[in-house]
Amino acid sequence: MRRTAAVGLGLAIALGVLVATGASSRLWRAAYPHLPPRMQAVPYRLRALVRSAATPVALPPPDTLGATVAPPPTPAARSAMATNAVPTPSSVPRPLSAELGPLTHAYQTWNNCGPATISMALSVIGLDEGQAPAAVRLKPNPDDKNVGPDELARYAQERGAITALRAGGRIEVLEALVAAGVPTIVETWFEPDPGDEMGHYRLVVGYDAAARTLRMADSYEGPNVVESYADFDRDWRAFNRTYLAILPASRAAEVALAGPGGAAMWFDAAATAADEVERAPDAFGWFNLGTSLQATGDPAGAADAFDRARAIGLPWRMLWYQFGPFEAYGAAGRWSDVESLAKANLANASDLEESVYWLGRAREAAGDIDGARSLWRRAVELNPLYEAPARALRATDAGAPPSP
C-alpha cells in the first residue's frame, strides 16, 4: 500500500510540475479525476511556489463615468419594474421548521465546489452518480474556475431531473422548497481567507423560522453550516439571489414551488435591486440591477447600472462568475470596456474561457477577425462545453456576425 501511494504521489508531483510550468494540460486533464484529493492539489501548490505571489489586478472603473455615482432609478422607473413583475409566491403553507430527507454529503476535491454540490443535491432524489463523474462531465478542464448554475442545471437534467433555475429569490421560497423535500442549490459569496473572496455553492437542507436560521450542506465547510437569515442573504445577494431547485421527473408538476421564471422573474428582481440601491446604494445592488435590466431587454439601463457598480468598486473575482457587463457593454458598442474588463480578469487567471471569448468579441469589433478567431479557439479548448465561442467561429466561417 505504501509503495502504491508513493508511486501515485510521485506521478502527481511529476504531472504537477508539468502543469505548474505550463508544459502539459491534456495529460493532467486525463489523470485528474482518478487522483485522490491531496494529489489533485499538488500542481496548484507547486504553481504557488514557482510563481511569485502577486497582488490581484482590480477590475477597472468605467471609461465613461467619473467619480460621481448617479441617483437610484426614479419612482416612475421602479413603478414600471414592479408593474411588470409577478412576485415570487410566498404564501405556500409550511411548518415553522423542516429538514430535507437523507443525503450523501460530499467534501469537495480540489476546485470542485459545483460538482460536489450538485452531487449532494441529486443524492436526495436518488440520481447521484458521485462527485468524480459529475466533475468529468462538468469540468473537462480541471482548472475551470466557474461551473455556472446553468451548467449544473443541464447536468441534473442529463441525470433525469427536472430543474428550475431562478434569480431574485426570497428566504420564504427556500423554506417552502425545503418543506416540500426539494433540494435547492444557492450561489453565494464566500471568503475562506481575508481578501480571498469567491463564488461558492451550498445546498439548503433545513430552516428554523422561529430562530430565523438556515442550515446548509457545504462542500468546503461541512454538512451542518447554520447561518442567520440576515448573514445568509448578505452573501446570497452578491449573485442576485440565484437558486436552483431540483426535482425528480415524477414531481414535475411541483416545479411551480420555485416561483415564476422568465421576464416576470427579472422584472421582480430589478424592482428589488432598485429598492435596495435607493435605500443603500452599493456595488452588489447596482450590479444586480444591471443583471436584471439586461435580462429584461434594457441593455442601456443595464450598462448604466454596471457603471455605478464599477465606480463604487467590485471584488476582483466578480466577473469570473457573472457576465452581464460584457453583454451590456457589447450591446452598447462599448468594446473598450469589454476589453479592459476581460484583460483584468485574464491577468489574474489566464484560463477563464468566458473572458477569453469576450476579449475575442472586442477584437472582432476592432476588425481583427484573425485575432478574434484565435481567442475563440482558445476558449473552446479551455471548455468544449461552452457554446458561445463555437457559435462565433461558425458565424465567422459563414461570414455572419456572432450572436452573444
Q: Say if residues 352 and 345 touch (Cβ distance below 8 Å).
A: yes
Residue 273, C-beta contacts closer than 8 angstroms, at least 6 positions apart: 240, 285, 286, 288, 289, 292
Strand 198-208 and strand 184-190: the pairing is: antiparallel
How far is the C-alpha of 336 from the C-alpha of 349, rounded, in Å?
20
Q: Which of 363, 370, 312 is nearest to 342 (CA)?
A: 363
Q: Can you give the residue ranges of every domain in the chain?
A: 2-50, 87-259, 350-404
> pTM higher than 0.85, yes or no?
yes
**What is the per-residue pLDDT for 141?**
85
Specify the fold of 87-259: Cathepsin B; Chain A (3.90.70)
d(CA 278, CA 75): 10
Averages of pLDDT over each 10 residues, the chain, 404 residues: 51 51 59 71 64 77 62 65 60 89 92 95 96 91 91 98 97 96 97 86 98 97 96 98 98 93 93 93 96 95 96 96 98 96 96 97 97 97 94 87 61
Name the residue among 277, 247, 353 with its Cα closest to residue 345. Answer: 353
Give me the pLDDT at residue 231, please. 97
- Cell numbers at 330, concatenated: 457589447
> How do residues 194-219 score in pLDDT, each as one tens digit?
778 999 999 999 999 999 999 999 99
